[in-house]
Amino acid sequence: MGRKKIIAGNWKMNGTPTEAVALANSLKDKISGSASDVVFCVPAIDIIPVLEAVKGTDIQVGAQNIHFEESGAFTGEISAKMLVDVGVKYVVLGHSERRQYFAETDETVNKKVLTAIKNGLIPIVCVGESLTQREQGITVDLVRLQTKIAFKDVTAQDAKKSVIAYEPIWAIGTGKTATNAEAQEVCAAIRQVVREIYDDATAEEIRVQYGGSVNGGNASALFAEADIDGGLVGGASLKPEFEKIVNY
């Protein structure tokens, strides 16, 4: 095993550049040098100033989206090359909010994953079910499908470097959290489908995060589960308690 945990803060649409730099500065000395990989996934306008703020630390900066085309007439979009050029390493793809509000599909997520990998970005691929889907008993079926489509045409070597974030939609920003057992069950199912797509080695190397109201109080128990390799943290990543999550 020995997978290194990865804890990524998804700042969503929060923080002016001034506020983002202040937050990064308030956290960086407390969380750099962690045993886990730490990533700030910040709004596009904050990327360059936050990169400057964390320079000299081991904290990485990630984006929250890319377009699947390299360039072109896509007003308002950002390309993978643009992000790589300024030093971005990770990108969150297929977040449920992108799917819900911006009509992203499993197929467009797959295109973005392929583009990210082609350009040297590490995708954090989000999968997860709604409350209705959980109540219908189709959580594992849905997450397996999302994972299979997201990684279509991705090589095993590239899949090993990627991250999958299991985020039950009903637990995002609600204060509700999947139980440790529920989170572990689905993360294990994700690892199993990676095993079926590729092989044992890929399944053991790929990192699977849990996201959904992760906080300073529940992070330690969640991250102790066998198939949970850290977290994609929303609201708590904007607060001082992010230090507690990183140093769980």
Q: Provide the annotated active-site residues.
A: 95, 167
DSSP designation for 234: S
Could you give the angle at the alpha carbon of 144 between the alpha carbons of 62 and 89, nearest 5°? Answer: 15
Element (H, E) at 11: none
Q: What are phi and psi of 6, to 5 degrees?
A: -130, 125
Q: Cβ-count burial of 237 within 10 angstroms (0-12 exposed, 13-18 middle, 19+ buried)?
A: buried
Q: What are phi and psi of 219, to 5 degrees?
A: -60, -45
Place of tokens 């590239």: 158
Contact, 149 vs 111, CB < 8 A?
no
Contact, 211 vs 220, CB < 8 A?
no
Contact, 92 vs 63, CB < 8 A?
yes
Q: Cβ-count burial of 81 within 10 angstroms (0-12 exposed, 13-18 middle, 19+ buried)?
A: middle
First to last CA, the chain: 19
Q: Give the C-alpha distances (Å, rounded to integers) separating 95 from 26, 100, 102, 128.
A: 27, 9, 10, 9
